[in-house]
Amino acid sequence: MLFKLLFLAAITFFLAVLWESPSARHQFRDELEKARGHINRSVKGYEGWQIIAVTAGATLILYKLYLFLVGTGEKTLWERIKGTCFKTVRSLPFINGKIEKELNKTRRLLETELLTPKPGETFHLSLPEKGLSHEEIMKELDGMDKLEPYDWRKGYTSGCAYNCDDKLTKITCDVFRRYCWTNPLHPDIFPQIRKMEAEIVQWTAKLFNGGSTSCGCVTSGGTESIMLAMKAYRGVGYSKGIQYPEILCSSATHAAFNKAAHYLRMKITIIKCDPLSRQVDVKAMARAINSNTVVLVANAPQYPHGVIDPIQKISELALKNKIGLHVDSCLGGFLLPFMESAGYPLDPFDFRVPGVTSISADTHKYGYTTKGSSVVLYRNKELRQHQFFVVTDWEGGIYPSASVAGSRPGGIIAATWAAMMYMGMDGYVESTRSIVKTTRWLAQELNSIPHLYVMGNPMVNVVAIASKDFNIYELNEEMRKRNWSLNPLQFPPAVHICVTMIHTRDGMDLKFLNDVKECVSLIMKDPGKKVSGAAAVYGTSQAIPDRSIISDIGYHYLNVSLTAAPLEN
């Protein structure tokens, strides 16, 4: 903005100086006269309609070019040029045929994986004519539960289910049952739900050392918390006259920020992580800040490698440039605040750091409540106001709405409130201690396995492993054969486990470690072996420069996921 103003001022000054000097003025006039004569001569012999048609055509082309160059702010010029090139290449029949053939293979792979009927599986492709009884429905569920390939209750998955403690399950479900018909959209009818939501926000703000002005709201999950925070910063940007407000974050930042930018028509700029620490490169972040930047993102910790960004340094950047700083603590939000009491002190990561203006923390992860629950916090109410939405002239009445949803599940809010009440400070400190202890022990042990190394410095709950000697996705496949479901990462290839309460019980951590050891020694018998199946797909997909091919597979995956009919034959 400032830059544009200075530029305009400079041009005005230049023209004024020109006008003040008589000789320059005359020269300027002569030049204009010459240009006019030149144009007059060059259109000699053309008819009026021809001149009009060419002018109109040229204007249209220039306007299109201008639109392409400026873009909508969502993608950079380079990304758009690349996209256009790939699109052109892909439309060549020879190339397209080859790509389609390969794509078809992957599409079929997805379909077989998700839609092949299991023995005895039943399908309901239309609503039953006559409603079923309670027993009949339960019987249907028993049949469907047999489809589960992983024993997630025993901890064979990474993340996914964060705590399946029986008492916690009972209290959450009892409370949900009691409030299952409630809706906080009507605080007059359900005052207890309004109170519970406000209390959840109050507790969470206190955990993150929010002062008297701190505030927030309960949302449906991490993505919604992030989206609302980004909307708030977009509002601040709009109020300063920025057309496409920009988010700056690291390459390890959760994809929910890309999604938010897409939904909100903001620009997102991704800063590379340091290859060793996997923390954001703060110097690169500083260089990327421009007059459109409205918010910096810091992770506490990030999802891929469980690493905490240097929040203090990012905060200094935010303060210096007078922009926002969002701390994404979706994953670690209910671990970090308890780590000091659990005997694992950390550098400040919350509102104690002066530049931090908002925080997201998922109650449905380490808050140990059921899915559909998260908290977004702000340093002050001015910022939060930009997340709100009010319609005044609707025929249905005045409609104020805090978050994305209109009607909201009061039962989930009540269950969250109850889970937090049940855990209490002592419960969270205790669970945090076991999670961090298990994670750090695993990180140390995994790092000492030959041919494997741990990425970054995992201090909280995630350990990412990679290998210089074999294809790490093969480890994923081997672990799958031993009933483990881990998360594959890319750029660079790696695999991670997100440690939950379930892994801290029944020697699951030791079982995991031993299985990894076994798989590694098996793979190292023939490390150059050609991989196949999902491991191959994941490996080669990173080498494909045209990412639109990969997104095609993503779209197909979503399409297949939402298909009810089984695969024929």
Ligand X SMILES: *Cc1c(COP(=O)(O)O)cnc(C)c1O
Cα end-to-end span (Å), the chain? 62
* Residue 334 binding target from ligand NAG, ligand X, none, CB below 5 to 8 Å by type: none
- Distance CA(37)–CA(47), nearest Å, equals 18
CB count, 10 Å around CB of 205?
24
Binding mask 360-399 vs ligand X (x if CB under 6 A, - otherwise)? --x-----------x-------------------------
Least distance (Å) between residue 476 CB and ligand NAG? 15
CB count, 10 Å around CB of 158?
21
- Distance CA(102)–CA(98), nearest Å, equals 6
With H, G, I as helix, E, B as strand and everything else as coil, classify residue 176.
Answer: helix
The verdict on 100 binding ligand NAG (CB under 6 A) reads yes
For ligand X, the binding residues in 191-210 under the rule CB under 6 A are none
CB count, 10 Å around CB of 445?
18
Q: Which helix (H) or strand (E) holds 361?
A: strand 358-361
Is 452 in contact with 513 (CB distance < 8 Å)?
A: no
The count of chain residues that interact with ligand NAG, using the rule CB under 6 A, is 14
Is 352 in contact with 346 (CB distance < 8 Å)?
A: no
* Residue 221 binding target from ligand X, ligand NAG, none, CB below 5 to 8 Å by type: ligand X
With H, G, I as helix, E, B as strand and everything else as coil, classify residue 271.
Answer: strand
The verdict on 40 binding ligand NAG (CB under 6 A) reads yes
Residue placing its CB nearer to ligand X in the complex, 362 or 478:
362
Least distance (Å) between residue 101 CB and ligand NAG? 4
For ligand X, the binding residues in 479-518 under the rule CB under 6 A are none
* Residue 290 binding target from ligand NAG, ligand X, none, CB below 5 to 8 Å by type: none
- Distance CA(472)–CA(195), nearest Å, equals 49
The verdict on 256 binding ligand X (CB under 6 A) reads yes
Is 539 in contact with 473 (CB distance < 8 Å)?
A: yes
Stretch of 47-55, 218-226, 396-404, 469-477 contacting ligand X, by CB under 6 A: 218-226
Q: Which helix (H) or strand (E) holds 329?
A: strand 324-329
* Residue 415 binding target from ligand NAG, ligand X, none, CB below 5 to 8 Å by type: none
The verdict on 556 binding ligand NAG (CB under 6 A) reads yes
Stretch of 1-9, 217-225, 436-444, 522-530 contacting ligand X, by CB under 6 A: 217-225
The verdict on 38 binding ligand NAG (CB under 6 A) reads no
Interface residue with ligand NAG among 180, 354, 560, 566 (CB under 6 A) is 560
- Distance CA(374)–CA(297), nearest Å, equals 18
The DSSP bridge partners found for residue 219 are: 374
Interface residue with ligand NAG among 38, 101, 124, 468 (CB under 6 A) is 101
Residue placing its CB nearer to ligand NAG in the complex, 97 or 131:
97
Least distance (Å) between residue 439 CB and ligand X? 14
Interface residue with ligand NAG among 88, 243, 483, 551 (CB under 6 A) is 483
Residue placing its CB nearer to ligand NAG in the complex, 109 or 429:
109
* Residue 451 binding target from ligand X, ligand NAG, none, CB below 5 to 8 Å by type: none
**What is the β-pairing status of strands 293-299 and 324-329?**
parallel
- Distance CA(220)–CA(473), nearest Å, equals 32
Q: Cα–Cα–Cα angle for 167, 171, 176, nearest 5°? A: 145
Q: Which helix (H) or strand (E) holds 250?
A: strand 246-250
For ligand X, the binding residues in 291-350 under the rule CB under 6 A are 302-303, 328, 330-331
Residues 6+ apart with CB under 8 A from 409: 183, 372
* Residue 385 binding target from ligand X, ligand NAG, none, CB below 5 to 8 Å by type: none
Tokens 């930047």 label which residue?
A: 293
Show the tokens assigned to 403: 């978050």
Is 84 in contact with 91 (CB distance < 8 Å)?
A: no
The verdict on 221 binding ligand X (CB under 6 A) reads yes
Ordered alpha helix ranges (H), 322-369: 336-339
Residue placing its CB nearer to ligand X in the complex, 159 or 245:
159
Least distance (Å) between residue 555 CB and ligand X? 20
Interface residue with ligand X among 158, 172, 219, 223 (CB under 6 A) is 223
Interface with ligand NAG (CB under 6 A): 37, 40, 44, 97, 100-101, 104, 111, 482-483, 556, 559-560, 563
Interface with ligand X (CB under 6 A): 221-223, 254, 256, 302-303, 328, 330-331, 362, 374
